[in-house]
């Protein structure tokens, strides 16, 4: 073997060795990658989370699939009872009848303003709705909004008490598979304006400028919500936290003092459409939105008669706009995750909550005025909103399955058809003008 041959053999040997090393390295990298991916896979994604897409749109992901909230506010108070009635423990289980009707309509979510007193009963309702009908639950907390004389958001003791109540609620229900997300408050932000449930503290009282006073209240309130959201995230990483808010009022301050919330849960009564709601929210507080209270009543206060069509007209139009603004509809804003209609059934106690006799009567006196619901705005004193007539399902004194008989209204059927093929209903589009 001459020198040259030897070198060649040596070189071949080195090359073989180098190849081996290379292969080993590749195998090692591959193993590392597999281990890394397995590691990733072992870290579970939250059951429910919000995904921000590349185009800036938002999607709600539930069990790894996009989820559109098609919901109702659910508070099935029977005729003759008021809001204190513990329907959660009703042996006739109204949610069984309602859940079936909801499922048939296409509803996938219910919203509870606050859970009942008995956690076992509440869990039973959540489980039944989820296991029997696939209906998920949004649970809220009033945050002491209705406390007498007012909710003292500027008071440390008050805040601590509410924090405890909220953390107890989360710990109690966070492992229920049917839970979708949490809502903090409802229209509590209006209390910062000083007209409903007004509250204050010494520091605010000293400030003479009313605008500054208002902003001080907002800051206190939204910072408190931020603390609550942080607290919930530390207890439960599986469900988003929503800020319940009346309209978009105060959200420019929430944008600074309340970054911990995952989404906004808005209460909106703007009639036929939501106007510039989605665009405004994007501009002021770029969080996704679920309309957790909206809708229309089914009583024409002007003609003094039930008008199911009027309700269906408003709801269909509102849902059209909700769908336009869901993610990946390139013409929409893409920040809407869905909505929960106010509400599933009528509540006969609402007109006069202090008079038990009136809870047995379906009152037709209107409670408040809203010009956006224009068909009956000419009613006396412009009071056209009939609080006892917001259900998309009417209830009757006739009993069926041990509960007040359910009679779906026109809106039930119109929305059922809408949800069967929502894209068909969104067809009218304007192409870019030439």
Partner 1 sequence: MKNQKSKILTIFLFLLFITIYELRFTNYESFAQDSNKLVALTKQIMEAKTKEELNLAFQDLTGLYFNENKYSEFVEFLNSLVKQKKELEPQVNYYIALSRYQQLKYLEEKQNWDEYFSNGNTYRQEITEQAQKAIGSNPFTDKLHIYARLILWQFHRDQQDVFENQALSDLMNSISEYVKTAQDYQPVKEVAEKLLVYGEKVKSKELYKIYVNKIITSGITDDKLKESALGFYKEGNLELAEALYDVYVDRTVKSIAKEKLIPILMDIAKQFSYKDQGPKDTFYAEKIFKKIEEVGTKDIFDERLLYLRAFNLEKTKDYPAAKDLYSYFVGRYLNSAYIDEANYKIGIISTYILRNINTGKSYFEKLAQKENLSAQVISSLYQLGLLSQWGEDNVKAGEYYNKLLEKAGDGFPETVTLAKERIKEIEQVKPIEYNLKTFLDASLKEEYANFDMTKIDLKSSIYRAKKDQAIDINSLPYIEQSGCLQVELQYLWSGHIGTAKPSLDESAFNTTYIHPGTKEINLIVISASGVVDRNIDLVDVY
What residues numbered 407-426 form the site for partner 1, per CB under 8 A? Answer: 410, 414, 424-425
- Count of residues in contact with partner 1, rule CB under 8 A: 52
- Pick between residue 238 and residue 309 the one whose CB is nearest to partner 1: 309
CB 46, min distance to partner 1, A: 31
- String marking each residue 224-253 x if it binds partner 1 according to CB under 8 A: ----------------------xx-x----
**For the range 45-48, what are the long-range contacts, defined as Cβ-Cβ under 8 Å and sequence gap of 24 or more?**
46/237, 46/238, 46/239, 47/177, 47/238, 47/239, 48/179, 48/180, 48/181, 48/238, 48/239, 48/240
- Pick between residue 276 and residue 399 the one whose CB is nearest to partner 1: 276
Instruction: Assess contact for 427 and 418: CB atoms under 8 A.
Output: no
Contact status: 185 vs partner 1 (CB under 8 A): no
- Pick between residue 181 and residue 390 the one whose CB is nearest to partner 1: 390
Between CA 90 and CA 67 the distance in angstroms is 31
- Pick between residue 167 and residue 309 the one whose CB is nearest to partner 1: 309
- Report CA-CA distances (Å) from 117 to 55, 77, 172, 244, 366: 43, 15, 12, 21, 31
List CB contacts of 427: < 8 A, sequence separation 6 or more. none
Contact status: 126 vs partner 1 (CB under 8 A): no
Instruction: Assess contact for 242 and 292: CB atoms under 8 A.
Output: yes
Tokens of 191: 């209390």
Stretch that binds partner 1, among 28-36, 67-75, 216-224, 303-311 (CB under 8 A): 303-311
Query: Which uninterrupted H or E stretch holds 309?
Result: helix 308-324
- Pick from 112, 173, 269, 348 the residue near partner 1 by CB under 8 A: 269
CA atoms within a 13 Å half-sphere pointing along the CA-CB vector of 175 = 4
Q: Which segments of 191-209 does DSSP mark as H helices, in order? A: 202-206
What is the phi-psi region of residue 155: left when phi exceeds 0, alpha when psi lies from -120 to 50, beta otherwise? beta
Token pair 């224009």 is found at 374
Stretch that binds partner 1, among 24-32, 102-110, 257-265, 302-310 (CB under 8 A): 302-310
List CB contacts of 212: < 8 A, sequence separation 6 or more. none
- Pick between residue 100 and residue 272 the one whose CB is nearest to partner 1: 272
Q: Which segments of 148-293 does DSSP mark as H helices, in order? A: 156-173, 202-206, 210-235, 251-257, 277-284
- String marking each residue 272-301 x if it binds partner 1 according to CB under 8 A: xxxxx--x----------------------
- String marking each residue 312-351 x if it binds partner 1 according to CB under 8 A: xx--xx--xx--xx-----xxx------------------
CB 420, min distance to partner 1, A: 13
CB 210, min distance to partner 1, A: 8
CB 433, min distance to partner 1, A: 4
Contact status: 431 vs partner 1 (CB under 8 A): yes
Contact status: 58 vs partner 1 (CB under 8 A): no
Between CA 157 and CA 370 the distance in angstroms is 37
Between CA 17 and CA 260 the distance in angstroms is 56
Contact status: 195 vs partner 1 (CB under 8 A): yes
- Pick between residue 92 and residue 367 the one whose CB is nearest to partner 1: 367
Instruction: Give the CA angle between residues 185, 234, 170 to the nearest 5°.
Output: 50
**Beta-sheet strands, E only, within 231-349:** 241-246, 263-267, 289-293, 299-300, 305-306, 336-341
CB 389, min distance to partner 1, A: 13
Instruction: Assess contact for 184 and 233: CB atoms under 8 A.
Output: no
Interface contacts to partner 1, rule CB under 8 A? 187, 190, 193-198, 246-247, 249, 267, 269, 272-276, 279, 307, 309-310, 312-313, 316-317, 320-321, 324-325, 331-333, 367-368, 370, 375, 381, 385, 387, 410, 414, 424-425, 427-434
């Amino acid at each position: 073997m001459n020198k040259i041959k030897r070198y060649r053999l040596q070189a071949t040997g080195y090359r073989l060795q180098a190849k081996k090393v290379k292969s080993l390295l590749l195998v090692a990298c591959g193993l590392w990658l597999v281990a890394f991916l397995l590691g990733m896979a072992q870290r579970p994604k939250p059951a429910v989370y919000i995904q921000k897409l590349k185009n800036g749109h938002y999607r709600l992901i539930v069990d790894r699939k996009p989820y559109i909230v098609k919901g109702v506010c659910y508070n099935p108070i029977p005729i003759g009872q008021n809001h204190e009635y513990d329907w959660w423990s009703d042996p006739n289980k109204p949610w069984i009848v309602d859940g079936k009707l909801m499922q048939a309509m296409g509803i996938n979510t219910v919203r509870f303003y606050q859970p009942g007193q008995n956690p076992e009963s509440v869990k039973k309702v959540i489980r039944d709705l989820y296991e029997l009908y696939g209906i998920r639950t949004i649970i809220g907390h009033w945050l002491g909004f209705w406390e007498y004389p007012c909710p003292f958001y500027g008071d440390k003791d008050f805040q601590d008490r509410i924090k405890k109540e909220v953390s107890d609620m989360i710990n109690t229900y966070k492992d229920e598979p049917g839970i979708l997300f949490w809502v903090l408050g409802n229209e509590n932000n209006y209390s910062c304006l000083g007209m409903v449930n007004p509250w204050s503290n010494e520091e605010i009282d000293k400030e003479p400028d009313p605008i500054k006073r208002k902003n001080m209240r907002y800051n206190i309130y939204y910072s408190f919500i931020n603390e609550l959201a942080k607290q919930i995230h530390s207890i439960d990483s599986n469900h988003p936290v929503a800020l319940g808010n009346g309209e978009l009022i105060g959200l420019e301050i929430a944008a600074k003092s309340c970054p911990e919330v995952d989404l906004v849960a808005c209460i909106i009564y703007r009639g036929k459409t939501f106007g510039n709601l989605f665009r405004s929210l994007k501009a002021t507080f770029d969080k996704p939105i679920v309309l957790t209270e909206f809708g229309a009543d089914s009583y024409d206060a002007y003609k003094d008669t039930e008008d199911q069509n009027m309700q269906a007209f408003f709801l269909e139009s509102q849902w059209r706009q909700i769908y336009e603004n869901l993610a990946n509809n390139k013409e929409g804003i893409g920040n809407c995750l869905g909505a929960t209609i106010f509400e599933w059934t009528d509540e006969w106690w609402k007109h006069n909550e202090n008079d038990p006799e009136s809870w047995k009567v379906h009152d037709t006196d209107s409670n408040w005025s809203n010009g956006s619901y224009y068909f009956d705005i000419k009613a006396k004193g412009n009071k056209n909103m009939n609080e006892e007539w917001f259900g998309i399902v009417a209830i009757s004194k006739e009993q069926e399955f041990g509960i007040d008989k359910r009679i779906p209204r026109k809106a039930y059927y119109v929305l059922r058809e809408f949800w069967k093929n929502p894209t068909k209903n969104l067809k009218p589009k304007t192409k870019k003008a030439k």
